Amino acid sequence: MTTPLDPFTLAELEARTSEQRYSYLVEQVIASEQLWILTDNDGSVLLEEDGSGCVPVWPHKECAEENLNGDWADCKAVAIDKHRWQERWTPGLTEDGYLVAVFPDSEQECVVVTPAEFDDEIRVEE
């Protein structure tokens, strides 16, 4: 169980650049071995980037929950184990032609990568 983030930390993370949030998320996923998505009755929510569907991911439950508004108001934050992500989500997203939107801020600004690129970043050689 992780310690909840306080509002100051959430605001500080939100203020970082897309690239800084990307690096932070990668570090957190490697350390905690999980990441967070938002889901509704149809599955994971999607963002659109240049005509491609993107699954947004966050490093902490609180970061994901900051996005529970508008079209996503009725969604819930769900943790995904890193290994499950790599074994099931990476191939599934690749097959379906989706991208990964890494730690979008409140304006949905973020780094967008392929599932394979994201997988390479969070993989730890053992």
Query: What is the tens place of the pLDDT at every residue in 36-86?
Result: 999 999 999 999 988 889 999 999 999 999 999 999 999 999 999 999 999
Q: For the whole model, what pTM was predicted?
A: 0.91
CATH topology of domain 7-122: Trna Endonuclease; Chain: A, domain 1 (3.40.1350)
Q: Which residues of 49-72 are buried (b: 16+ CB within 10 A; e: fewer)?
A: eeeeebbbbbbbbbbbbbbeeeeb
